[in-house]
Amino acid sequence: MDWERVKERLEAVLQLPMQIGLLPEADWQHLAEEQEENRESFSRSVMRGQDVLFYLSKEHKDIRILQVFGAKLTASERKLVEMTVESKQTQEKRQWGAFLSEDERKAHQLRDWLLQQMERGSTYAELPDALASQSSLYSTKIPLLLYGDYSQNQSVSYAELKKLLESFFESEIILIPLLEKEWLILAPEGLLTSGSEEREGDEEESVEQILDAFGSGLYEMLANEWVGECHLAIDYPVKPAKSLYATILKLRETIMLGRSFHVGSFIHLRWELRLEKLLHLIEEEEKAEFLEQVLRGTDHALDAETVTTLEHFFTLDCNVSETAKKLYIHRNTLLYRLDKFKNETGLDVRTFNHAVLVRLALLLYKVTKRK
């Protein structure tokens, strides 16, 4: 059944004129963004004037669409067309599945099992032995979750991405496609000790430092050689056979926390977001009350320059000299800024208690201000 036959069947059911055509990808993206702003809950169709356009497939730099002319479709009719289109797309994917490599076939089996657990709302689930053994998931792996900030219509090849990742890690990895734009990477634990001979004599790096370095290098490579910006979450090594599903949930939470509390950051390390996790669990009213008690109406003191200064000050353990170097300013200039903040808010971040309060307030202020 080709798209023309799908169109004919829908025309017969809805008694409306339709046409299959091509639309530049940039135009589709623009219409999709407008729809998102209007908070419409349709994921596979957009409005253009009085017409409704349904996404069929990606054709190079164009989108193949099904256009319903001047239609006043009800929400249920529009959903019916979307479901019909999705059914056809699923059928095509199954046909393509016959041509998948053995490696990709195993990855899709893992993906299907994981998605089943998500649909059930599971919080913990162990992999079946058959899946764990065929994909060698009994050995310890380094888990990384990759989320691509590319266009929803942009196609990403499993084989090409896996080849790129294995070239970076210089080792075989396991790659599992999850939801749209989301990929789980399982790298061998041996990467943590590889190259230790070269570091011999130097100060020993911690696991966190090694994983951070891997994350930074991987992000730079993906941003330059893949499809642009992406988000990367990293956790400690795990045994996937026992905790693969739980690990994915933790990595997703890590990306969510990183994107919420640290806009502009693209590498999210779970061990660096423990405080943010606690703050995220607090009710919105309590967050607002805490901010009011700490800042006491002096929100104006948190201008861009002050926020940047305080963030560097806390990152460098409240060390005045190191912070001044990092900001490329004179030590006295930094002290002037800290004194100015103290005079305006009554909070001296050079004291432990006030530093803790301001650190918490700063994190909460950033997320509540955006809301």
Rounded Cα distance between 193 and 327, Å, is 34
Per residue, the 3-state secondary structure of 176-206, as one string, reads: EECCCCEEEEEEEHHHHCCCCCCCCCCCCCC
pLDDT of res. 185 = 96
Residue, of 192 and 150, whose pLDDT is higher: 192
Per DSSP, 367 falls in state H
212 closest CA partner among 188, 185, 192: 192
pLDDT higher than 70, residue 1 = no
Q: Could you give the C-alpha distances from 314 to 168, 349, 360, in angstroms and in order?
A: 33, 9, 11
pLDDT higher than 50, residue 148 = yes
User: How much is the average pLDDT of 245-262?
Assistant: 93
DSSP string over 248-312 = HHHHHHHHHHHHHHSTT--EEEGGG-HHHHHHHTS-HHHHHHHHHHHHTT-GGG--HHHHHHHHH
pTM, to two decimals: 0.68
User: How much is the average pLDDT of 243-270?
Assistant: 93
Sign of the C-alpha dihedral, residues 136, 138, 143, 148? positive
Q: Write out pLDDT tens, residues 214-232.
A: 999 999 999 888 877 899 9
Cβ(41)–Cβ(166) below 8 Å: no
Q: Write out pLDDT tens, residues 90-123.
A: 776 665 455 568 888 889 889 989 988 887 888 8
Residue 316: what residue type? L
In the chain, % of residues over pLDDT 70: 89
Q: Could you give the C-alpha distances from 240 to 17, 171, 255, 314, in angstroms and in order?
A: 52, 18, 20, 36
238 closest CA partner among 196, 281, 270: 270
pLDDT of res. 252 = 94
47-61, 150-164, 178-192: which is most confident: 178-192
